[in-house]
Amino acid sequence: MSSPQSPGTPVSTWWVALAGVPLGFGVGPAFLYAATRARALSYAVYGVIWLAVCLVGLALSLSYPDNSSPEEFGSFLMVTTWFAGFGHAFATRGAYVRRVRAHDADPIVRARERLYKRDEARAIVARDPRLAREMHIGRPDRGADDGGLIDVNHAPERVLVDLPGVGRELAHRIAKTRADVRGFSSLEDMGTVLDLPPDVVEDMRERAIFLPRA
4-8, 35-39, 182-186, 198-202: segment of lowest average pLDDT: 4-8
What is the reported pTM? 0.51
Q: What is the number of residues in the chain? A: 214
Distance CA 76, CA 60 (A): 10
* Residue 117 pLDDT exceeds 60: yes
Name every residue whose Cβ is closer than 8 Å to that of residue 99 and which is 6 or more positions away in sequence: 38, 39, 40
Q: b/e map of 93-120 (b: 16 or more CB within 10 Å)?
A: eeebbbbbbbeebeeebeebbeebbbeb
* Residue 3 pLDDT exceeds 70: no
Which pLDDT value is given to residue 46? Answer: 93
| Domain coordinates in residue numbering, the chain | 15-101, 129-209
Crossing angle of helices 93-104 and 69-91, rounded to 10°: 50
Q: Which amino acid is at 194?
A: L
Q: Residue 104: name the closest of 205, 8, 206 by CA.
A: 8
Distance CA 32, CA 146 (A): 23
- Judge whether 16 and 135 are in contact, CB under 8 Å: no
Q: 4-33, pLDDT tens digit by residue?
A: 444 455 788 999 999 999 999 999 999 999
Which pLDDT value is given to residue 9? Answer: 58
Average pLDDT of the residues of the chain:
88
- Judge whether 164 and 207 are in contact, CB under 8 Å: yes
Q: Residue 53: name the closest of 31, 74, 29 by CA.
A: 74
Distance CA 125, CA 128 (A): 6
Tell me the Ramachandran region of residue 207: left when phi exceeds 0, alpha when psi lies from -120 to 50, beta otherwise.
Answer: alpha
